[in-house]
Amino acid sequence: MQVGERERKDILERVEKEVLDIVSGRLVDPNTKRVYTSGMISKALDQLSSASGQQQQQQPDANGGEDEKPAQPKKPLWTGVSATRSAKSQALDAMKALIAWQPIPVMRARMRLRVTCPVSFLKQSVKAAPSAAPSKEKEAPAGNPKTNKKNKKGTKKSGKGGDDSDIEAGGEETEVAPKASGTVKDKILSYIESVESQEVSGDEWEVVGFAEPGAFKGLNDLVGNETRGRGRVEVLDMSVTHED
């Protein structure tokens, strides 16, 4: 179907607005943990888009040469919004580029999780290496702020997330293999950047804390495998931020 120029412009503006809304709700300043406005995110993406050619030249040569260092993974580039792709997919690409190039200081907003596990499993050694835990970002980890919860509130059980959880728990972070030894409790806590509370109630241990979105899948797999399905990971808040 042919689309008029004005209609194409309207579609592009609508997709761009949706992309900016998603990104501004999921990236925060590493120091203050506050969200950026859509306008600031737009300016940062414009910088990446206008400099995409220069950034491409800075990428290491994949073929390499005799006197060159081994090729390193290329940083993601941002060339602008397209009307032919979904806003959620493009928002994920935009976040990757902003985190990689840091035109403004950014990090992913942390998720607030609750993990419950039968006490009888806590001191057992991990049977096998679980899914790789994502490496920590260089920015300061999330603390234990008095938070305003952004996006959907309430509890979401693991494995039942929708489109938003696909973005939050995406696998774009670089992953590293966890240590082979350790108890189930130690492994669970290794995924939690900041513990808000932990307690034992009856025969069940519960910990609430903050973790980067990329840790969700590995933590969920670990708990499910090591507790034979009796433990669970729940998302209390998809994106925890400070707001003015």
Block mean pLDDT (10 aa), the chain, length 244: 80 95 94 93 94 61 51 83 94 95 95 96 78 46 47 43 52 45 91 95 96 94 94 93 62
What SS3 class is residue 126? coil
Rounded (10°) angle between helices 87-101 and 38-50: 70
Which residue carries 């602008």 as its tokens? 80
What is the predicted pLDDT for the residue at 58?
56
Element (H, E) at 224: helix 215-226
* Cβ within 8 Å of residue 168, ≥6 positions away: 26, 111, 161, 213, 216, 235, 238, 239
Q: Which regions of 66-177 does DSSP assign to beta strands (E)? A: 107-108, 110-118, 133-134, 148-150, 156-157, 175-176
Q: Is the separation of the CB atoms in 25 and 35 below 8 Å?
A: yes
Whole-prediction pTM? 0.68
Q: What is the CA radius of gyration of the chain?
A: 20
